Amino acid sequence: MNLTRPHLSAFFMALLVVFSSPALTLAQEPAPDRAPTTQALARPTGYVPESVPLTQTYSPVALGTIGVLFPTSAVITVFGGKLFAAPVPAMGAPTPGSLDYRVASNFHGDLESGAPFLGGIPDYGGYALSALPVLYYGLGATWTGLTGQNLYPWQGPSHLHSTMAYLESFTWTALLTNAAKFFVGRARPYVALERRAYGWHGGEDYLSFFSGHASLSFAAATFLARDISDGLYHRVLADAEPTERFLLGRALPYTLLYGAATTVAVSRLYDQKHFLSDVVVGAAVGTLISALVYNTRFDGRGIPRTRRGLALDVAPSPSPEPAEEQAQSAVDDRAGVAADQRLDLAIP
């Protein structure tokens, strides 16, 4: 049996579903009922909770919605071209001389053989990159469950929250991408420019706008880079020098992950599968959705938020002093004021 692109893409999506299933199962566990302790009421500023119940971040409705829509979006992403009829073209090809047209005309491989960019690795890598976060969190959660220790020192204890948040990001990105593809029906460059060596089959000839490889790759890169960066910057490198903290905690994860996503996006242009505008819009959609989901579910240090939008490590405010004590303190602590003047301030 020869492994084709649909086979490998289905394999990557199956991995994504398999590794996410423990998260979907554990998500149904009720939150433990714990009474607040004296230590919990006096948490230091940099406190990171050891365990946060998932139900304090996600409501049962949100968990159920993700549980249903996530596998649906994965199936549509892989098999949508076979499940649905080819869309009626509703968006024309770029006008000759436009930027889209010039990039597609000049940036391509061998027009006779249709040899893919870098041997086709980025083509399959788009699916692998979208499955990478779930594999990453799944391995971390499994290791923690078996050993009681963190596999990634920068990750902290919120593997389950990160998994669910990424599934949420993937779901909305995939659904929006596929809805645009089947409603817009834009011809791919190999159709518009008559370069059939790059073609797949008729079911995908008019699914150019916008790029699913770009949207899902940038969604995965944005979420994983943000999560790893927050862990490195605020945990592992909290006491490091500012330059080292920035380079290792911010620049490194973003450069590696966005570099991989950009390579995938460039391959879509080179392989005549998408126009430049398809790739740019896809990258923007994936980035924005992941950033929105992450900021909604986590605070600035990567700590899960409650459903009210408050970070879970915020200690309650101390009880205010009685009004009489506040007034007395405001009067008696006024430096440089004579005693008789202080009396005048207290008793008009």
Q: What is the 3-state secondary structure (H, E, C) of 289-314?
A: HHHHHHHHHECCCCCEECCCCCECCC
pLDDT digits (tens, 9 = 90+) for 51-104: 678 888 999 999 999 999 999 999 999 888 888 888 888 888 899 999 999 999
The closest of 144, 130, 137, 142 to 159, measured between CA atoms, is: 137
| Domain locations in the chain as residue ranges | 57-307
Q: What share of the chain is helix, strand, coil (3-state, %, to 5)?
A: 65, 0, 35
Question: 52 or 134: whose pLDDT is higher?
Answer: 134
When pLDDT is averaged across residues 246-267 and rounded to a whole number, the result is 97
Q: What phi and psi, each to the nearest 5 degrees, are found at residue 163?
A: -60, -50
**Residue 328 CB contacts under 8 Å (≥ 6 apart), including other chains:** 346
- Band of residue 159 on the pLDDT scale cut at 50, 70, 90: confident
Between the CA of residue 134 and those of 17, 170, 209, 224, 262, what are the distances in Å? 9, 10, 26, 10, 20
Window from 66-75, 102-111, 195-204, 233-242 with minimum mean pLDDT = 195-204
Q: What is the DSSP letter of 247?
A: I
Highest mean pLDDT among 15-24, 73-82, 271-280: 271-280
Residue 47 has pLDDT above 50, yes or no: no
Give residue 93's pLDDT. Answer: 87
pTM: 0.78
Report whether the peptide linkage leading into residue 19 is cis, meaning its omega lies within 30 degrees of zero: no
